[in-house]
Structure formats: structure tokens, C-alpha cells
Amino acid sequence: MPRFLHTADWQMGRTYSRFETEDSAALSEARYQAIERLAALATEHQCDAVLVAGDVFDAQTVSDRTIRRVFNATQGFSGPWVMLPGNHDAALAESVWTRAKRLDAVPENVHLALKSGTTPLPEQGLAVLAAPLTQRHTYGDLTQPFEQMTTPPGLLRIGLAHGSVQGVLPDDIDSTNPIAPDRTETANLDYLALGDWHGLKEINERTWYSGTPEPERFRNNEAGYVLVVDIEEPGAAPRVTPHETARYRWHQWRETLSVASDLDELIQRINQLPEASVLDLKLNGTLTLAGEQKLTEALSIAEARFRSVTCDRSGLQLEPTDDDIAALQADGYLGEVVQELRQSQQETDNSEGAEIARDALAILAGLLTSKDPEAAR
């Protein structure tokens, strides 16, 4: 029974400029480790081939070192690999693929599907019908020629394409590189392995997106998997098994804090995250000075545990309680300043002014607390 591994959207050479240098390097390195993990999975599960449905590289301009490292990372699986150009690494006349060939970086067991056509793998029982992108965007369905492609008798007809299944994916990514939702039927395919959508997604029992093996953005779309596909014989229904490959999990939370219990629940959720987390927070609402100090401490602990933590507090207003002010012992002039900053948050006409007042209040509270440690207790 033929068995193959379906993966896509490696986006090798991707940079993470929004992160600190150390975190950016770790996230980039995790993508090479993902290739090594899926190669090991293919070997462990005795797969006959690995099919990569486009966007192996994030750009045509990736370094020679990146090209070599990508192909080096495939060494854990000695069977055939079939790699398809996607919209990020389209098979242009001069492309990342032609450079890879000139560098002699492509192993003998890696087949580059740079032209529309069939890659027969008779020993593996597969015939791979490829629809490579030869430019970044097209408006015609490149999988339509599958209907006229002939394959040797007895081999599974496996389509390999990169694009948007029409009428299924969100409208904002449903305009270029279209793919008919019934292509497996019209082209008599046993399976259609797709890339472009970065999350795991079943279109129908024979048509799947594997998603990227390592998440690279904040989107709740089941990224971080590869698919092992078993098909007993031509015409039989595929058995598709997802396998998790992600090193890091990305979490983006948008929270509104109103009462003390909201902050307690948020901190509890943060503490429950695994260490291999990338966390992006944006907070709105109100917070007492005691709550601000509690939040700051919790985020400091999280920053030491997780791969990356960012927190936008610009939507938070600090509202000192009478107990906060009493604990700060901000009498006289200092007490007046605290009250003025408290009022400025609410009365300023622009968000920048409110943020400045909030930050000033937090800094002042921190200074007063550091002078009197008992005030924080």
C-alpha cells in the first residue's frame, strides 16, 4: 500500500524583524529543524515519498547558505522527494531553483517539478502530477491540465499544486492562483496535495492542505503539522493522518481587563502555556496600580520562560484606588500629581497623550513603591 508524506509552505529564509535578534534567530532555526523532523517522520513511518506542495523558499533572493541548508536538512529521508515551486519561489527563467542547480545542492533523490507534467515513481506506486507556478500570480487554474495527463496503469494519481481552492478559503486570499474544488473528480486524482494555505485544512477526503510544518505568524489555523497519507490502491479512499511538527506555538490574545479577577485569570492562562510559546498580548480596559505591578511581574517571569513575549498596554488606563494612593503614601504635592495623571488619562483628546499619562503614572508608582517596599505588600 503506497504511503507518502504531504508537506508545504516551508518558507525557508523567512526573517522575523519584529522580534529581538535572539528570538528571530531561534524562530528561523526552528524551520530547519522542522524539515529534519518531517524527514525523520517519513523514515519512521516507512513512507514511500515526500511531496512538498510549494513555497519551499520564502523568496527568490535567499542566500546560497540557505539553499544548501534546506537540502542538507532532507538527508534524514533517503526516498524520493518531489518539490513544487509556489508563489514565493516560482519557477522563473532565473530563480532560486536554477541557483540550487548551479550550486549542485540538489540531491539525486530530490525531484524538482519545475514544469507542468508528471513525475512517475513506479517503485513507490505513485505518479505525481505537478502544477508549478512559473510566476508569482496567475488567474487561470494550473491544475486543469491534470485532466489530460496520462499516467501508467496501477500507479496512484497524486496531484501537487499551490494555490487557493475557489469558494472555500477566505475571500481575501481567493483571487489568484485558483484551483477548482472538484479537481480530484474531473482529473481522476486519488489525492490532491495542496500548499498556500498555511494551516491544516481538509477540503474533501481527497483534497488537503497540509499547512506549514512550523508556525510563523499569529493565526489560529492549525499550523505546525504534516500529513501521512495511505491509499491502498487506485480509487480507494485515502487515510490521512496529521502529525505535529511545530517547535513553537504562537498565541495572540486580545483581552479587556475590568476587574481584579480578569487579571488573575489572564495570568493563570499565561502560566499554563508551554515554554515553547510565542505570545503577543494587547490589553484594554482599566487596572489598579497594584494590578499594574502584578501584571509587570507576571510578564517579567513569562519573558524568561517563553521564546518571546510582547505586550501592548496602550489601551489600558490606570485607575488608582484609594488604597493604592494610601499605600504609596503620596501626600501633598505627590498626591496632587497622581490625581492629575489619573485625570489626564480620561480627559486627553488623543491616545498618545493618554498613553503618556498612563506610563508616567506607572513610573511614579514604581518609584514610590521602590522607596517603600512595604507599600507593595
pLDDT in tens, 31-87: 999 999 999 999 999 999 999 999 999 999 999 999 999 999 999 999 999 999 999
Sign of CA dihedral 256, 259, 265, 270: positive
Give which of 91, 15, 10 is closest to 56, Cα–Cα.
10
Give which of 55, 132, 63 is closest to 103, Cα–Cα.
63
Of 185, 218, 244, the residue at which a domain comes to its end is 244
Q: Say if residue 223 is in the same domain as residue 312.
A: no
Q: Say if residue 209 is in the same domain as residue 277.
A: no
Mean pLDDT, the chain, whole residue set:
89
Of 227, 244, 261, the residue at which a domain comes to its end is 244
State the pTM of this model.
Answer: 0.85
Of 213, 244, 275, the residue at which a domain comes to its end is 244
> 216-272, pLDDT tens digit by residue?
988 778 999 999 999 999 999 999 999 999 999 999 999 999 999 999 999 999 999
Rounded to an integer, what distance in angstroms lies between the CA atom of residue 375 and that of residue 351? Answer: 30
pLDDT of residue 363: 64
Q: Say if residue 116 is in the same domain as residue 134.
A: yes
Give which of 24, 8, 53, 72 is closest to 245, Cα–Cα.
8
Sign of CA dihedral 353, 357, 358, 362: positive
Q: Say if residue 222 is in the same domain as residue 257.
A: no
Q: Say if residue 59 is in the same domain as residue 179.
A: yes
- Show the beta-strand stretches assigned E in 210-307: 225-230, 239-244, 249-257, 277-287
Query: Which position has the higher pLDDT, 174 or 147?
Result: 147
- Give the domain range for residue 348: 249-376
Q: Say if residue 180 is in the same domain as residue 47.
A: yes
Q: Say if residue 230 is in the same domain as residue 283.
A: no
pLDDT of residue 375: 46
Highest average pLDDT, of 170-184, 263-277, 281-295, 336-350, comes from 263-277
Q: Say if residue 202 is in the same domain as residue 55.
A: yes
Query: Which position has the higher pLDDT, 256 or 354?
Result: 256
Q: What is the count of structural domains for the chain?
A: 2
Q: Say if residue 150 is in the same domain as residue 207.
A: yes
Average pLDDT, integer, range 84-113: 97
Scanning 45-138, the segments in alpha helix (DSSP H) are 64-73, 96-102
Q: Say if residue 258 is in the same domain as residue 115.
A: no
Q: Say if residue 266 is in the same domain as residue 156.
A: no
Indicate the pLDDT class of residue 356, thresholds 50, 70 and 90.
Answer: confident
pLDDT of residue 126: 98
The dihedral region occupied by 104, where left means phi > 0, alpha psi between -120 and 50, and beta the remainder, is left
Least confident of 159-173, 178-192, 309-323, 325-339: 325-339
CA 57 to the chain's CA centroid: 14
Q: Say if residue 234 is in the same domain as residue 261.
A: no
What is the number of H-type helices and E-type strands within the chain? Answer: 9, 17
H or E element that contains 325? helix 322-328
Rounded to an integer, what distance in angstroms lies between the CA atom of residue 52 and that of residue 31? Answer: 14
Rounded to an integer, what distance in angstroms lies between the CA atom of residue 38 and that of residue 79? Answer: 13
Given a cut of 90, whether residue 364 has pLDDT beyond it is: no
CATH number (domain holding residue 219): 3.60.21.10
Measured torsion, CA atoms of residues 34, 181, 168, 191, in degrees rounded to the nearest 10? -30
The dihedral region occupied by 224, where left means phi > 0, alpha psi between -120 and 50, and beta the remainder, is left
